Amino acid sequence: METSSVGNTNTGSIHVLAAADLSALLEAIVAEGYRLVGPRIRNGTAVLDEISGAAQLPRGYRDSQRPGEYRISANGSGETNAGRYFDYVVGPTSVKRFLYPPRRKVLEAERSGGQWKITEPADDYPPTAIVGLRSCDLAAVRILDRVLLNDIYPDPVYAARRKATLMIGVDCAHPSETCFCTSMGGGPSVESGYDLNLTELGDGATHRFLIAAGSDRGEKLMASLRLSTATSDDLAAGAAQRKSAEAALAQNPPMQDAREVLANAWNSTRWDSIAQRCMACANCTMSCPTCFCVDIEDETDLTGEHADRWQTWDSCFTMGHSYVHGGAVRKETTSRYRQWMTHKLSSWHDQFEMSGCTGCGRCITWCPVGIDIREELAAIRTDQKTDVPEAAQ
């Protein structure tokens, strides 16, 4: 199966897909042999999960996100199958869960006749199409590609899953209060990394999608659909929606200097202030679409004849993450939060020549005490300016 290009962009003209034909698009994807994954409402959140069709998408739902707070609710129209499909932003799950699973068996060992037979189980990931990926999600995939598809230590399972995944992006129309993609060089509109991209416009009688292909796979799917060429009015409506979304993000503080600020913030008193609030629960890293730390666990049955080795997501907020012989290196919450934030926004550049943050805001929304990484960076920056010795002022 053809691989999606990491930096792909619109490969042809923009067309219009009627909202009533969204089901036809998903059916065409399934006909190509893909499993469908998309947003659906579960436990009061919009999560990425396997779906059977458009009827399971969160149509008519909007979410509200603030530091430590998430709510999603129907639009209250009371009509069946009414409203827009993608007016929520992002939930606690991301595409990482599918490309880099939280728990995966890496080895099996069986003893027979005094000898051990070790096998590597086959990965059972089918060709998968993920619908509804936002600009920040696709930016996260580019970051994971840089980390896990590097020339020295590539992850073969990630590479195979990446190749087998069809990426279908959706532009954001209503960014949440915790979104800050523009501060990280992104934006609410999907620009690259997709096979197909959708811009949802209008509602009711005017409900439609702008659709564009970003790969040969996307072009093939578009050729099977009933489409019309986008008019100047369609393109103007898309541009107006993008401008409105960008305006909603305009209040976000600048973060372009995060690398330098945090590289010089080792002794900032702000870390202690954060630690007094931080529960070290690891919600931020577990919901982050780019955190890639894992642990290796061995399990043996009671007979001692069989053992499994598992790779599981880990977090730098756990005591065991920095454990070496004699104890943990980072025993205090102060040092653990400093490690996470400094790595994410600063030293990631040294390792991978890019930031590890996409500005999706999940770490802010899903922090139980509402710690806001934007506010903490601003406070550290302010502290550095006020700590300049008088002789240097």
Tens digits of residue pLDDT in 117-152 = 999 999 999 999 999 999 999 999 999 999 999 888
List C-alpha distances in Å: 22 to 13, 54, 85, 210, 349. 19, 7, 10, 11, 40
pLDDT band at 81 (very low <50, low <70, confident <90, very high): low
pLDDT at residue 261 is higher than 90: yes
* pLDDT tens digit sequence for 183-199: 999 999 999 999 999 99
In this prediction, residues 200-225 reach a mean pLDDT of 96
Q: Which pLDDT belongs to residue 12?
A: 64
Tell me the pLDDT tens digit for each residue of 10-65: 656 899 999 999 999 999 999 999 999 999 999 999 999 999 999 999 999 999 99
Distance (Å, whole) CA 270 – CA 277: 11
pLDDT at 357: 98
pLDDT for position 151: 83
* Torsion angle defined by CA atoms of residues 230, 233, 238 and 240, in that order, rounded to the nearest 10 degrees: 170
Find the mean pLDDT for residues 263-286. 96
Task: Please report how the helices 333-342 and 270-277 are oriented relative to each other, as an axis angle in degrees rounded to 10.
Answer: 110
Q: What is the mean pLDDT of residues 243-261?
A: 94
Beta-bridge mates of residue 288: none
What's the token pair of residue 86?
């993608």
pLDDT for 26 equals 98
Weakest mean pLDDT among 74-78, 88-92, 200-204, 260-264: 74-78
Sheet holding 294-300, edge to edge: 115-119, 103-112, 306-313, 294-300
Given this model, what pLDDT does residue 10 score?
Answer: 60
Relative to beta strand 115-119, strand 103-112 is antiparallel
pLDDT tens digits, one per residue of 278-319: 999 999 999 999 999 999 999 999 999 999 999 999 999 998
Q: In the predicted model, what is the mean pLDDT of residues 255-260? A: 95
Give the mean pLDDT of 241-264: 95
Query: What would the mean pLDDT of 249-271 be, rounded to a whole number?
Result: 94
| pLDDT tens digits for range 348-372 | 999 999 999 999 999 999 999 999 9
Q: For the residues 315-339, what does the mean pLDDT come to?
A: 91
Q: How far is CA 389 from CA 91, 270, 332, 379, 393, in A?
A: 45, 18, 29, 18, 7
Mean model confidence pLDDT for the chain: 92
* 52 token code pair: 């059977």
Residue 392 pLDDT grade (very low, low, confident, very high; cuts 50, 70, 90): very low
pLDDT at position 342 over 60: yes
Nearest Cα residue to 306 out of 105, 103, 117 = 117
